[in-house]
Structure 1
């Protein structure tokens, strides 16, 4: 099961100009939809996800099951403005392990959007929704609710077990999304408001194939828009 870590260095000015022209910059400055659109424009159906834009210095990281040669072949057809915005001349990738040792301990970092989608109505902040459903909402705290949810996500199919996790950053942010086409074939833009959290911690690998699938899939919703990418480091770096 092949997995590659991709890196490129987007040009901040070209990126902001492109996102503004395309009306893909959220009121809070989130670039998730802009990167989603840029990656699709550059790589088509091979667009890597999940991805994480760190900052202008560290650039953009993404997971893909495609080798660098295939990505460069598709990116060769990108328009000049897409090439500049993504920094495709800096595109690199390296292979990730194909087999993970059971009980291997790793440090992780992940940006997540912990939400639920009720049967009716828009998506909801998981903490607020859980508090409303609880008989003792005063006993709940945001970090604990999110950490429990995160632990369940990692544990699916015995992928991994979290041994320690802490919420390093949190904010409520608005992101750009587009609804399905209306009767005229047009897609309306809307800006849902929701939780935006970064967790760091340690995990213990379970089933090797399940862990690779978790990395490929990402954690939670909005994975194609900058959330859910699990970044890994040696355990001593956490």
Structure 2
């Protein structure tokens, strides 16, 4: 499969108006949900996914980055017959750009820096916690809370989350703990599948080493972790961090 890194400027005020007109996030603006619907309507379901919206402080516009199986010309051709005036006010198709990421880009042992926004959650294989205060099998739970309840003791939150990320890179890439860190953490309420969900959101800045080039290309295209359709799990690649 061909892979392309997409860069797409967005008007943030127009995005808010577009979402409001469609009743998306009536109980509070949900950026990930709005972008999920917008990108699906313009380009097709899961065509531009995973993605990440980057916004500078106090900026009125942002830049959406994503991975797709086609370049800018192919995306414009797909969007041109269906995009409406409201969507065109949010997305400037004439400013959409892309660069290819061919399979030959990646090699075993290559070190790469990265920036990734994640929802570090797990699906419970079995129920945990006491009666009335526990969590049922299949529940989605903060990876830190799940481990703490299972073990009865708490490791540092950053350590748990970096281990969670390392497990999801396993076999494809190795995380370098000494050059990786949790750059931000917050708890966030979102709407998914018509339900309100609450959980952790983190940003990790780090370095990885590729173990399986073909598998790494698939990982970029797929994204890391859950909630990838809502702006999580996209590996933005950077030069590797310097070792101390």
TM-score for both structures, normalised by structure 1: 0.87
Runs of 5+ consecutive residues of structure 1 not aligned to the other structure? 179-188
Could you tell me whether the CA contact under 8 Å between 1:27 and 1:174 is conserved in 2? no
3-state DSSP of counterpart to 1:10: strand
Sort the Cα spacing of 1:27 and 1:145 in 2 relative to 1 into closer, same or farther, 3 A: farther
Aligned to 1:18: 18
1:125 and 2:142 are equivalent in the alignment: yes
Q: d(CA) in 1 for partners of 2:28 and 2:159? A: 26
TM-score for both structures, normalised by structure 2: 0.85
Q: d(CA) in 2 for partners of 1:123 and 1:98? A: 34
**Deviation per residue, 1:111-161 (Å, 9 max, x gap):** 0001112253641111111100004x14x1111111001011112xx2111
Q: Within 5 Å, which residues of 2 pair with 1:66-85?
A: 66-76=70-80, 77-85=82-90
Q: Within 5 Å, which residues of 2 pair with 1:75-224?
A: 75-76=79-80, 77-99=82-104, 100-118=106-124, 120=137, 122-135=139-152, 137-138=153-154, 140-155=155-170, 158-163=171-176, 164-178=179-193, 189-224=194-229
Runs of 5+ consecutive residues of structure 2 not aligned to the other structure? 126-136
**Alignment coverage as a number of residue pairs:** 224
Sort the Cα spacing of 1:88 and 1:122 in 2 relative to 1 into closer, same or farther, 3 A: farther
Q: CA RMSD in A?
A: 1.9
Q: d(CA) in 2 for partners of 1:220 and 1:31? A: 18
